[in-house]
Amino acid sequence: MEMFDLSLIWAVIIAVGVIMYVLMDGFDLGLGILFPFAPDEDSRDVMMNSVAPVWDGNETWLVLGGAGLIGAFPLVYTILLPALYLGVFLLLAGLIFRGVAFEFRFKSHRSKSFWNWAFAGGSFVATFAQGCVVGAYIQGFETADGVYTGGAFDWLTPFSVLTGVGMVIGYSLLGATWLVLKSEGHVREWARGLVPKLLIGVLVIFAIVSLWTPLIDQGVYERWFDNLQVIWVLPFATLLCALGIFLGNRHGREGSAFLLTLGLFIFTYLGLIVSRWPYVVPPQYTLWDAASAPESQFFLLIGVLFVLPIVLTYTAWTYWVFRGKVRVGEGYH
């Protein structure tokens, strides 16, 4: 155990779990946000059918990240849960409600419009709550002796509301590029028309958050502006992804547009990690301060190294089996 930095290994595992959840659950949450704006009921059927085989398995990564956090970094869980209790509650409530709506809509007739709005509302609430949680994390938490000392609504600030709105627009962009990839005809053209508008919204929020974040914490400012090194590759890569999304969508390269949207999220996520590294409970506790005993981390690592390849395998297999376009009147459900 002394040969490896188990805390660093676990930080990588949890970071991968979080970004995998964001990428893989993000597009189906984005479809839910776009649901009320779809041109007709056939379009909504295509939207749901495009994610029906995969949406439930996507949330496996949320479980992995949360369970790993409890076992490997208990101090993070101890502080973040009371600090973000209401935000996390809204997140989970939204996911549960949209899951119920997802299943009931397929079987309903007279109440289909209700379940349409339930699916959209649950998706919006879950996404907005995720964005607020990210904003609260960037701002940091009031702590004393390893205990959260702030108020129940400290997570809800103008900055966290902005990041919540940014997450809603970002997931909508991810959902739109996914729908362009998976649909055809008037559904595809409708989604394709949304991509440039949503991309502009994402870039505006990205610019505001990037300028606002250094004002929140002097350490973030110093990390970016006093050490002009390779980290500046990340925002430039994000902008290149945005340009690629615009061009790919314009010229009908639907696969590259979707993949570059994933890349936009990845580079933004890496920028967040760099801004706060190595603090897992900013602005005070590093990942080594928050780590559990090495014996506990090693024991959990054995289980994860066994389970993770299985999760990756069945996830890849599912997406491969259900590749291709979803047509009106056809589906997987």
Residue 81 lies in a domain: yes
Summarize pLDDT for 235-282 with one digit per residue, the tens.
Answer: 888 889 999 999 988 888 888 899 999 999 898 888 888 777 877 777
CA angle 139, 223, 291 (to 5 degrees): 60
177 is in which domain, residue-wise?
6-200+283-321
Residue 97 lies in a domain: yes
d(CA 214, CA 102): 40
Residue 327 lies in a domain: no
Instruction: Say which residue, 22 or 332, is predicted with more confidence.
Output: 22
In a 13 Å sphere around the CA of 101, the CA atoms on its Cβ side amount to 23
Three-class DSSP category at 143: strand
Residue 1 pLDDT > 50, yes or no?
A: no
Mean pLDDT, the chain, rounded, equals 83
Residue 233 lies in a domain: no
Question: Is the backbone of residue 185 left (phi > 0), alpha (psi -120 to 50) or beta?
Answer: left
Are residues 98 and 119 in contact, defined by beta-carbon separation less than 8 angstroms?
Answer: yes
Are residues 134 and 171 in contact, defined by beta-carbon separation less than 8 angstroms?
Answer: no
> 159 CB contacts (<8 Å, ≥6 apart)?
135, 138, 139, 209, 212, 216
Residue 298 lies in a domain: yes
d(CA 169, CA 174): 9
d(CA 280, CA 146): 13
pLDDT band at 332 (very low <50, low <70, confident <90, very high): low
Give the CA radius of gyration of the chain: 20
Other residues' Cβ atoms within 10 Å of the Cβ of residue 260: 21
d(CA 162, CA 175): 20
Residue 219 pLDDT > 80, yes or no?
A: no
Other residues' Cβ atoms within 10 Å of the Cβ of residue 183: 24
Number of domains the chain contains: 1
Three-class DSSP category at 267: helix
Asked whether the whole model's pTM tops 0.75, one would answer: yes
Are residues 191 and 33 in contact, defined by beta-carbon separation less than 8 angstroms?
Answer: no
DSSP letter at 284 equals T
State phi, psi for 280 to the nearest 5 degrees.
-100, -20
| pLDDT score, position 113 | 81
Residue 53 lies in a domain: yes
Residue 111 pLDDT > 80, yes or no?
A: no
State phi, psi for 91 to the nearest 5 degrees.
-60, -50
Q: What is the mean pLDDT of residues 190-214?
A: 89
Three-class DSSP category at 285: strand
pLDDT band at 202 (very low <50, low <70, confident <90, very high): very high
The token duo for 228 is 């002009």
Count of positions (residues) in the chain:
333
The token duo for 144 is 């004393």
pLDDT band at 199 (very low <50, low <70, confident <90, very high): very high
| pLDDT score, position 124 | 93
Other residues' Cβ atoms within 10 Å of the Cβ of residue 108: 14
In a 13 Å sphere around the CA of 317, the CA atoms on its Cβ side amount to 6
Match 């002796």 to its residue by tokens.
145
Residue 38 lies in a domain: yes
Are residues 202 and 170 in contact, defined by beta-carbon separation less than 8 angstroms?
Answer: yes
DSSP letter at 231 equals G
Instruction: Give strand ranges (E) for 158-282.
Output: 279-281
| pLDDT score, position 33 | 93
Residue 105 lies in a domain: yes
Tell me the β-bridge partners of 281.
285
Residue 284 to residues 40, 84, 255, 277, 289: CA-CA distances in angstroms?
51, 17, 42, 11, 9
The token duo for 230 is 């390779």
